Amino acid sequence: MSGFPSFGYQNSGLCSESVQLDFIARKFGTPCYVYSRAALVAAYQEFDAAFAGRDHLVCYAVKANSSLAILNLFARLGSGFDIVSGGELRRVLKAGGDPQKIVFSGVGKQPDEMRAALAIDILCFNVESEAELQVLNQVAGEMNKIAPVSLRVNPDVDAKTHPYISTGLKENKFGIPFDEAESLYASSRDFSNVRVTGLDCHIGSQLTELAPFIEACRKMLGLLDRLQTQGLQIDHLDLGGGLGIRYSAENPPLVGQYVDALRACVGQRKQRILIEPGRALVGNAGILLTRVEYLKHTGDKNFAIVDAAMNDLMRPALYDAYHEILPVNVKNDGGIKTYQVVGPVCETGDFLGHDRDLALSQGDLLAIMSVGAYGMSMSSNYNTRPRAAEVMVDGDQVHLIRERESMEQLMAGEKILP
């Protein structure tokens, strides 16, 4: 349980902090997302403390988990926020986030989203194309505003991660090609309602090696030096996020190792450092609680059919991602079999774990680990399934932070033809 410091067994029952998970299942039902406040706070403070003595801003990547309670918790801790949509902007503001700590990323910002962000004077737009820069300049002009901008540069660095979450290669849709960035920075002077304030890159997610981070950082610093010789003032250096977590056998760098490497690379340069961790802040702070509905034994496979499904947790179906699956109550009577842990959705791809050795009975509870990132935020209503409840554990207290969706809510906006 070393990878899940806020989840552990007490008297053969799995707990979040001081609360038994079977108590949560009885009170709130399943499937249910359960988060540990202590784990969230510790993860943020570890990043923040690693930058002690250096001007910096930790901007939580909201797409990893946009639940208001989690955003509010980070806002109270002083966090900034990395957003990718107007909806995420509204969530951050509702949660008490500081506009001057918001950076707006994403390849497809719409004019209305730009207006909303300009109206509250966010810290920076991370611009990903020349076309976007033109539109932002026009929108800012219509509002008599000056838009603070950093260009997201694609450094063409192999992040050595899953291809769907690799964002820093030249064939990816993200960012401005490295060999075009210098000329676009120079031409930005021609845009009267844009002010360049930063330099940005982000190469991917779930990175487990330091080398790609350092390679990208060095390329950005070389570009920074060239821009400064041309008289461009760059106030901050946004080095993105992407630090991985341990799901099974991965061995990602520790937060301190990661930050120390970035600090050493940047050296004595005076620019403020921004980073945008998401998964590393919330991934191991959450679990998905699910109940075994049926056990099905065939000549080839044993299936544990649970009440959580691919609509609740998309990562296994989408990325063939691995999540550890633990029994909530440990049995000492043997009976271990190798199970395919699957959901009730009508797709063969609806699985949560393959080939897991478990001793199970119908009605048992399971905890799917490391789902705090890209679990609830990617969930859907496929098969007309209401989204799960979410709870936050704080010591010996449990708080409902999102009610389970009702069927009435699912269909509230729909109309039947006359």
How far apart, in whole angstroms, are the C-alpha atoms of residue 359 and residue 333? 8
Helices 37-50 & 68-77, crossing angle to 10 degrees?
40
* Residue 278 marked as a ligand binder: yes
Amino acid 251 reads N
Secondary structure of residue 213 in the 3-state scheme:
helix
End-to-end CA distance of the chain: 57
87 labelled ligand-binding:
no
Of 15, 59, 265, 346, the active-site residue reads 346
Spatial separation of the C-alpha atoms in residues 375 and 317, rounded to whole Å? 12
Q: Give the 3-state secondary structure of residue 305.
A: strand
Q: Does 319 show up as a binding residue in the annotation?
A: yes
Q: Exposed e or buried b for every residue in 385-396, given b needs 16+ CB within 10 A? A: bbbbbbbbbbee
Q: Which residues pair with 36 in a beta bridge?
A: 393
Dihedral (CA of 105, 107, 110, 114) sign: positive
For the question of residue 346 being annotated catalytic, the response is yes
315 is annotated as contributing to ligand binding:
yes
Q: Is 347 annotated as a binding residue?
A: yes
What is the Cα gyration radius of the chain?
A: 23
Is residue 17 left, alpha or beta, with left meaning phi > 0 and alpha meaning psi from -120 to 50?
left
Would the annotation count 374 as a binding residue? yes
What residue spans of 51-174 are helical by DSSP H? 68-77, 86-94, 111-119, 130-142
Nearest to 275 by CA among 265, 256, 262, 284: 262
Q: Is 244 annotated as a binding residue?
A: no
How would you class 42 by CB atoms within 10 Å of its CB: exposed for 0-12, middle for 13-18, buried for 19 or more?
Answer: middle
User: What pairs with residue 124 in β-bridges?
Assistant: 103
Tell me which residue of 237, 196, 241, 243 sits closest to 220, measured CA to CA. 237
Query: Residues 6 or more apart from 322 whose CB is under 8 A from it?
Result: 247, 248, 316, 353
Question: Is 44 assigned a ligand-binding role in the annotation?
Answer: no
Q: Which residues are catalytic?
A: 346
Residues that constitute the known binding site for pyridoxal 5'-phosphate: 242, 276-279, 374
Residue stretches of the annotated binding site for substrate: 279, 315, 319, 347, 374
